[in-house]
C-alpha cells in the first residue's frame, strides 16, 4: 500500500502507564494483527518484568495515511532510548495514568519533547480505575506544562481519554466507548504530515541500530529530504567530522512489527538499511559529499559506575561458556554500539569500569550477558562524583513515593537519614504522596529497605535532576555479613541455627566456599560461620522434640538485590545459573591484611 501521507509519532510516559498496551491495541485494530500473542515487548526480559526496555518501531495504516509509531521505555534508567527517538518523530503521545497523574519520568520525557519544539497530544489512560480522576489529572498535566516552560502553542494541547486494555478512546468522557478511532483522528488533525521533499538531495539521520547475522549492522533512520534507493552510493557523515562512502545493500520499511524490503524510500518515512558496518547513532547519511550533517543526538550523562571483572572465585569456569577478559571486553564493545546511555573505560585490562544511568540499566546488561553464557563478577555500584570549579559535585534525583499513610513516618525518617529533603506531601484517601530531592548515593540500596518498611505496599520512582554540590557522608548499611569459613554444602541444621542471627541467602544443599557471603547479620557485625556443620549425633535415642527443622524461606539473591545489599569489600559473582555474593578477599587473613593496608593509606 502506497500511503498519501506519513505521520511519525512516539509514545512516551512513565513506567506502567500503558504505552505498550495502547500500541498493541492500535496494531490489533489497524495493522491486520489478530490475537493477543503479538506485543511490542518482544524481548524475554521485557515480558518477564512487564516493562519496556528497548525502543521499537511499528506502523499502521489509517485513512490512507501511514503512521509510524515508536514505543519507548518508561523507566528513568532507559531515558537515553527516549532521547534519541524524539529527534526522529513529528510529535509525541504523552500517556498519563488517570489515577497516578504525572510522575517523574512523565516530567523527564515531556521536558525533552518541549525543548525540541514538539506539540504533544495528551492521552489520559486507565480512566476505568476505581480511583481514577481524569479532571484532576488534566489539571496536573497543564500545571506540569507550565512548570516546564511550554509556549502558548504547546499549552493548547489536545486531550484524549482512553482505556488501553479495552482498546477504546474518547475525545470527551461522555462520548461512546467504541474503538481507538478518536485517538487516530486526533493524530491526523493535530500532527502535520511529514515533510516529503523528494526533489532535494537525500539526507537521513540514524537514531537506532540493529544486528542481523547475515547482512551485519542495520541502521534505523528518519529520512528528512530526498529519496534513498537500494544499491546507490551514499555518504556517511561521522560524528568526528570524517566522511565515509558506502553502498546500500538492503533497504526496509516497517509494516506492523514486520520489516518490508523495498527498492526505495521517500522523505518523511522511517527506514532500516544495511551496508555501513561502522555506522553509529546520531550520524547523518547524505546523497552528496558536500551536504551538511544534521545536529548530533545528545543524551544525558551516566550517574553510576560499576567494575566488571573476570570471575576468580573457587567455582570459576564451572557454569559459563565465556569467562575471559577478552570475551567480556568484546561483549561490552558490542553493547556500546547500540546502548547510547552506556560508557566503558577499558584502560585497566583487569577491571572494566562501566558507567550507566542507574542500577537497573546495568543490571539488564548483566542479565543479558549471563543468559548468553557469560560468567563474571561486578563491584558495588558507585555514584559518579565530578569536580566543577574546585567543588565536588554529585547527581541528585527527584524521588516520588506513594505509601499507606501509616507508613509515611518511617519512610520520611529513613530518606532523611540518606540526605533526602522533603519538598511536598499530599494525602488522598489512605495514601500519602511524598516528593523528595535526594543524592543518588542515598538511593543506592534503599529499595529493599523501602519494601520492608512499607510491607510491599509502597511505590517509589525517581528521575535524575542535575549535578549538585556533594551532600556529605551517608550511612548506608545497617547489617553485616555472614561469611562461610568452610568449603562444602550447606545443611539445613546449620542454616536453622543461623537464621536467628539475620537473613539467609541460600538454600540447604547449596555448594559453598570459604569467603562466600551466605546471609546478613541484623546487628551489623561481620560473622564467620560454618553452614556445612551438621547435627552432632550420638548413640542416645532422640526424644523426638527436635526431629523436624522449620526453616524460614531464604531471601535468594537476584542481580538487582545483590547490587543493593553488597558492601564495598564484596563482589557479586554472576554465572548463567547462579548469583553469589563473596568477599573480595576470601580468607580471614587476607581481609585483615587488606583492612590494615587501607587504614595506613587513610
Highest mean pLDDT among 259-263, 342-346, 588-592: 342-346
Q: Which helix (H) or strand (E) holds 135?
A: helix 134-147
Residue scoring higher pLDDT (259 or 79): 259
User: Which residues, at least 6 apart from 421, have a Cβ–Cβ distance to it below 8 Å?
Assistant: 436, 437, 438
Range(s) within the chain of domains with CATH label 3.40.50.300: 5-190
Q: How many CB atoms lie within 10 A of CB 218?
A: 21
Is residue 37 scored above 60 in pLDDT?
no
Range(s) within the chain of domains with CATH label 2.40.50.250: 480-536+549-601
How much of the chain exceeds pLDDT 70, in percent?
93
| Prediction pTM value | 0.81
Cβ–Cβ under 8 Å, residues 69 and 57: yes
What does 318-367 look like in DSSP terms, one character per residue? SS-SB-SHHHHHHHHHHHHHH-TT-EEE-SSTTEEEEEESSHHHHHHHHH
Range(s) within the chain of domains with CATH label 3.30.70.240: 386-469
CATH number, span 480-536+549-601: 2.40.50.250
Nearest of 412, 13, 7 to residue 192 by alpha carbon: 7
Report the SS3 class of residue 171.
coil
pLDDT tens digits, 173-213: 888 888 888 899 998 888 888 777 778 888 888 888 877 77
Range(s) within the chain of domains with CATH label 2.40.30.10: 203-286
CATH class of 386-469: alpha beta
Give Rg (Cα) of the chain.
27
- In the predicted model, what is the mean pLDDT of residues 559-586? 89
Is residue 574 scored above 90 in pLDDT?
yes
Cell of 287: 546523497
* pLDDT of the residue at 161: 93
Residue scoring higher pLDDT (475 or 168): 168
* pLDDT of the residue at 176: 85
CATH class of 203-286: mainly beta
How much of the chain exceeds pLDDT 90, in percent?
15
The C-alpha atoms of residue 364 and residue 230 are separated, in whole angstroms, by 36
Architecture label for domain 5-190: 3-Layer(aba) Sandwich (3.40)
Between the CA of residue 487 and those of 132, 518, 532, 556, 576, what are the distances in Å?
56, 12, 8, 20, 21
Range in 39-43, 99-103, 219-223, 431-435 the model is least confident about: 39-43
pLDDT tens digits, 486-524: 899 998 888 888 888 888 899 998 999 999 999 988 777
The C-alpha atoms of residue 404 and residue 579 are separated, in whole angstroms, by 33
pLDDT tens digits, 320-361: 899 999 999 999 988 887 787 888 999 988 899 999 888 888
Amino acid at each position: 500500500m502506497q500511503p498519501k501521507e506519513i505521520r511519525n509519532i512516539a509514545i512516551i510516559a512513565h513506567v506502567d502507564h500503558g504505552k505498550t498496551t495502547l500500541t498493541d491495541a492500535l496494531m490489533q485494530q489497524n495493522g491486520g494483527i489478530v490475537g493477543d500473542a503479538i506485543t511490542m515487548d518482544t524481548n524475554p526480559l521485557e515480558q518477564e518484568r512487564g516493562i519496556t526496555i528497548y525502543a521499537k518501531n511499528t506502523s499502521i495504516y489509517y485513512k490512507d495515511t501511514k503512521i509510524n509509531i515508536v514505543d519507548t521505555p518508561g523507566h528513568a534508567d532507559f531515558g537515553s532510548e527516549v532521547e534519541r527517538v524524539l529527534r526522529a518523530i513529528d510529535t509525541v503521545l504523552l500517556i498519563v495514568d488517570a489515577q497516578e497523574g504525572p510522575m517523574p519520568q512523565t516530567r523527564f520525557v515531556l521536558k525533552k519533547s518541549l525543548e525540541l519544539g514538539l506539540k504533544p497530544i495528551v492521552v489520559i489512560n486507565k480512566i476505568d480505575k476505581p480511583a481514577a480522576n481524569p479532571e484532576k489529572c488534566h489539571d496536573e498535566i497543564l500545571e506540569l506544562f507550565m512548570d516546564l516552560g511550554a509556549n502558548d502553542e504547546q499549552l493548547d494541547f489536545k486531550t484524549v481519554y482512553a482505556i488501553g486494555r479495552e482498546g477504546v478512546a474518547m475525545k470527551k468522557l461522555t462520548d461512546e466507548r467504541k474503538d481507538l478511532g478518536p485517538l487516530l483522528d486526533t493524530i491526523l488533525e493535530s500532527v502535520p504530515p511529514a515533510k516529503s521533499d523528494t526533489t532535494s538531495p537525500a539526507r537521513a539521520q540514524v537514531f537506532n541500530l540493529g544486528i542481523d547475522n547475515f547482512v551485519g549492522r542495520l541502521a534505523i533512520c528518519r529520512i528528512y529530504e530526498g529519496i534513498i534507493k537500494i544499491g546507490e552510493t551514499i555518504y556517511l557523515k561521522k560524528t568526528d567530522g570524517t566522511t565515509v562512502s558506502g553502498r546500500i545493500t538492503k533497504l526496509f520499511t516497517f509494516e506492523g512489527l514486520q520489516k518490508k524490503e523495498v527498492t526505495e524510500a521517500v522523505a518523511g518515512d522511517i527506514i532500516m538499511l544495511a551496508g555501513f558496518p561502522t555506522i553509529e547513532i546520531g550520524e547523518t547519511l547524505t546523497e552528496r559529499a558536500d551536504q551538511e550533517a544534521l545536529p548530533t543526538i545528545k543524551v544525558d550523562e551516566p550517574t553510576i559506575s560499576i567494575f566488571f571483572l573476570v570471575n576468580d572465585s573457587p567455582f570459576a569456569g564451572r557454569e559459563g561458556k565465556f569467562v575471559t577478559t577478552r570475551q567480556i571486553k568484546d561483549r561490552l564493545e558490542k553493547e556500546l554500539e547500540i546502548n547510547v546511555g552506556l560508557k566503558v573505560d577499558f584502560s585497566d585490562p583487569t577491571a572494566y569500569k562501566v558507567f550507566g544511568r542507574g542500577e537497573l540499566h546495568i543490571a539488564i546488561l548483566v542479565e543479558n550477558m549471563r543468559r548468553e553464557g557469560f560468567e563474571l563478577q561486578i563491584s558495588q555500584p558507585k555514584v559518579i562524583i565530578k569536580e566543577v570549579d574546585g567543588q565536588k559535585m554529585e547527581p541528585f534525583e527527584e524521588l516520588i513515593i506513594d505509601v499507606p499513610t501509616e507508613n509515611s513516618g518511617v519512610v520520611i525518617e529513613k530518606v532523611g537519614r540518606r540526605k533526602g529533603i522533603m519538598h511536598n506531601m499530599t494525602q488522598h484517601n489512605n495514601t500519602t504522596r511524598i516528593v523528595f530531592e535526594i543524592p543518588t548515593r542515598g538511593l543506592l540500596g534503599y529499595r529493599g529497605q523501602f519494601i520492608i518498611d512499607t510491607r510491599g505496599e509502597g511505590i517509589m520512582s525517581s528521575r535524575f535532576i542535575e549535578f549538585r554540590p556533594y551532600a556529605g557522608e551517608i550511612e548506608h548499611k545497617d547489617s553485616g555479613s555472614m561469611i562461610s569459613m568452610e568449603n562444602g554444602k550447606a545443611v539445613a541444621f546449620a542454616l536453622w541455627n543461623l537464621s536467628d542471627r539475620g537473613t539467609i541467602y541460600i538454600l540447604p544443599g547449596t555448594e559453598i566456599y570459604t569467603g562466600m557471603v551466605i546471609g546478613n547479620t541484623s546487628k551489623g557485625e561481620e560473622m564467620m560461620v560454618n553452614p556445612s556443620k551438621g547435627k552432632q549425633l550420638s548413640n542416645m535415642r532422640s526424644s523426638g522434640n527436635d526431629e523436624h527443622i522449620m526453616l524460614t524461606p531464604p531471601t535468594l539473591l537476584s542481580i538487582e538485590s545483590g547490587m543493593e545489599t553488597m558492601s564495598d569489600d564484596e563482589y557479586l559473582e554472576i554465572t548463567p545459573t547462579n548469583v553469589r555474593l563473596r568477599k573480595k578477599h576470601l580468607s580471614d587473613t587476607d581481609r585483615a591484611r587488606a583492612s590494615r593496608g587501607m587504614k595506613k593509606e587513610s
